Structure 1
Amino acid sequence: MIDLPDLPLPGQGATAERLHRLAALGRADLVACRLAEGHVDAVAIRAELGDADSSKDHGGQRWGVWAAAPSAVRAEHGPDGWRLSGDRPWCSGAVWCTDALVTAAADDGIRLFAVRNRAPHATPLDGTWPAVGMAASDSRTVRFADAPARPIGGPGAYVDRPGFWHGGVGVAACWFGGGLGVADALLAAARRKDPGPHALAHLGGVDVALGAARAVLDDAATRIDADPKADAHRLALRVRATVEAAATEVIDRVGRALGAGPLCRDGDHSRRVADLTVYLRQSHAEGDLEQLGRLLAEEDPRW
């Protein structure tokens, strides 16, 4: 059972607390963190877009944000309201979620909808998540078949709001937590006995990488709270790239310092490494760096 946290909303003065608590979840269990992050992101999205039904939430609701490949699902408006049909990949918590925010292509653009995740209108497809890393996140493809849906905001509202990028920073906080969890194995080994100069050098490198990641997350929290309505696109891209690089370095350094032993004999550690490796690929790698470069070419970076 995943204990869903009640986190402060981003941009309301306690964004640092939100990010720190997401990181703590990631350090303990990346799968649980991934599902919890989707839920708290959905809460924030609904609040920002003024979903009137958010006040009617009842205990036991577990939300996901299923927004990959938005045009893969089609939204049609008829006499009985909106209906969604189509296959949506990458639906983390495909069975666990009771409700989801789903993007879909409508005649007037890409829209966001609230949908109940239940048969026969929403069906996770077997065989669509054969993953090893993040296996327990159950991120299968979900098939929507004439699913009743409630619109949240207007066309384009999901990606056009500043909070879209605040959510991206939240994901980076989860990656940071995953990096902390992997680093814990090296720190514990160094405290049990002297692991030798090379392993200690790797531990020092891990500290530097994680320190840089924590600094950019704390800076992002301060900036988001100072101006919640500012365009945070460039900020989020920079934070995500920094944290991704730090977490990747941690995986490499811990592996080089400790060898194959923990990966082969410590189930918790090997699972953390596999989970973090997959989770980091939610980044678009060079594609995100290209976006950042284009933004910098158009604006004063104020380095």
Structure 2
Amino acid sequence: MTVSLGSRLFAIAKEASMMTEGYAWIITDGLSSMLDLMTPSTIDSMQGVLAIKPYIPRSKDLEDVEMRCKRELLLKEPNNKVNELNLFGIRAYDTTWALAMAVERVGPMNYRFLKPQTSENSTDLATLGTSEMGPRILTKILNTSFKGLSGKFYLVEGQLESSGFQILNVIGKGERVIRYWTPTKGLSQELDVAKNVAYSTSMANLRKPIWPGNSITKPQGWAISTEGNTLRIGVPVKQGFQEFVKVKWDSQTNNTTYIGGFSIDVFCGVLGELPFAVNPQLKAYANADGSSAGSYDELVSEVDRHQENTTVHSLAVAAL
């Protein structure tokens, strides 16, 4: 998720009162590594969010690279704010080194490019040639291991392994580290990846997160009770293929006698797996004579006007 999209998401969530007590939000490194790029208003709308991102141990090499980057950026753009080197910048640096080391191990060879068979309608990307040495470089990269800025660089099944993770809590003007996690030690209050030491795995000794609404009470996921309440489900009436949604109508009583089909079964099955009670009331979106009362778009508009809580049809489940 991009910074702009994440900013809009949490602004809307706050406006919809979804950043209050009882809610829980968790973001991963796609957004958590960009928290320093967020505006103060965005951080304000993210209060209580939990964030997970790979742990990058501080080192002399990392500090030197950060200093050089800041110096060069200030020379090029002296009037702009220079942010800290984030996770993506650090990993890009390590990846460049891994590629250079792989090419060096391959040694001198033919750098000829093979031109693909293309047509006039091919995209520019499809017309790019491929290097004959590509497979050999790839093999070397997959077997590369060294100490980089982000820690030990090595790939497992083509994916970069992280030695540990930080669990952050967005509080005040920024974030604070509340816990660490490693595959071998689990959750801990402190972490020394270099020495493979984790401390205080007792839950009682771990720092407690502050949840949305400035609450220390862990959200249960079903704070709003629906027991005894009815969830109104709008179901479209359609002709033709009815295996997904089927509605039978009694012309004598002007009432539905059956609502079912694959989509209905899936929807009710999902409701049955929820850890709280939901009483669905299926209601055909029909006129008095049993004919369709409108299109899918018009049925969804009924949800927006609060005539229905949600809809089920042959394409998706929609709720507003």
Specify which structure has the higher proportion of helix.
1
Q: Same fold (TM over 0.5)?
A: no
Give TM-score, length-normalised by structure 2.
0.23
Specify which structure has the higher proportion of strand.
2
Give TM-score, length-normalised by structure 1.
0.24
Asked which structure has the greater CA Rg, the reply is 2
